[in-house]
Amino acid sequence: MNKKIQLQDLGNRDYKSTWEYQEELFKDIVDLKIKNRREELELETPNYLLFVEHPHVYTLGKSGDLENLLLNEKQLEAKGATFYKINRGGDITYHGPGQIVGYPILDLENFFTDIHKYLRFLEESIILTLEEYGLKCGRSEGETGVWLDVGTPFARKICALGVRASRWVTMHGFALNVNVDLGYFDNIIPCGIRGKGVTSLQVELGVEKVDEDEVKAKIIKHLTHLFEAEFV
């Protein structure tokens, strides 16, 4: 059982190439697990957390509704944005500069075999991080992610989640709005949820810019505790 997680900060990187990189790491872990079982080996499987910031991009989950994208191809081009239909859960979301995207590629058999618990732990790491900035956040029943003012007309999402898992190996993950341009969310119905807003840490704190490296360090701290992991 390997509880070490290899941290890789990829900086600003194209969505497609990052997705392909995730798929490579994901496949390597799955293939190793198959080999272990077939040949009765006990080789350790690796775990990864990728931090990345993407250029403007909209992604639609496998069960999402394309009508939640409010732009056509020419309008996307005018916005300097791209679009991909991908293999995670969830509906449509936006990624862009000023957003911290985290892709945990974990063999959950190194930690626990419970996808529901996994999602709640990802949410909890963000909730605890935002509490350190004085924000009271929580979950919205039936909706993944992290929210402010849940159950009120002012409910707004600050972090989206969407994952894929196979043979207890995960990919995709979370997107936390830190210094992001929220105007790009006006071009979609975020996560297919009507009538609820989107916000960022920058907006909620009323500051010019939030230190993203500081936010990442806090997320890692809470993931370390929740997963009883070691980041290397």
Binding-site members for substrate are 88-95, 160-162, 173-175
Predicted pLDDT at 68: 85
Q: Could you report the per-residue pLDDT of 2-48, keeping only the tens digit for each? A: 999 999 999 999 999 999 999 999 999 999 999 999 999 999 999 99
| CA pair distance 18, 30, nearest whole angstrom | 18
Among 154, 148, 124, residue whose Cα is nearest residue 135: 148
Residue 219, pLDDT score: 98
Q: What is the pLDDT of residues 44-95, one digit of tens each?
A: 999 999 999 999 999 988 878 888 888 888 999 999 999 999 888 778 889 9
Residue 194 has pLDDT above 60, yes or no: no
Cβ contact 160:185 at 8 Å? no
- For residue 189, pLDDT over 90 is answered with no
Short-list 179, 194, 197, CA closest to 70 = 194
Task: Please give the C-alpha separations between residue 105 and each of 27, 151, 164, in angstroms, as whole numbers.
Answer: 10, 32, 10
Look over the chain and give the mean of its residue pLDDT values, rounded to a whole number.
Answer: 93
**Domain boundaries, given as residue ranges, for the chain:** 4-231
159 as an active site residue: the answer is: no
**What's residue 191's pLDDT?**
54
- pLDDT single digits (tens) 87-113: 887 788 899 999 999 999 999 999 999
Fold assignment, 4-231: BirA Bifunctional Protein; domain 2 (3.30.930)
Q: How many H-runs (helices) and E-runs (strands) does the chain carry?
A: 5, 12
Instruction: Please name the amino acid found at residue 125.
Output: S
In the set 52, 106, 176, 191, the catalytic residue is 191
pTM score: 0.94
Cα angle vertex 186, ends 132, 181, to 5°?
45
The binding site comprises: 88-95, 160-162, 173-175
Encoded tokens for 93? 């979301």
**The CA-based dihedral angle spanning residues 102, 107, 109, 111, taken in that order and rounded to the nearest 10 degrees:** -30
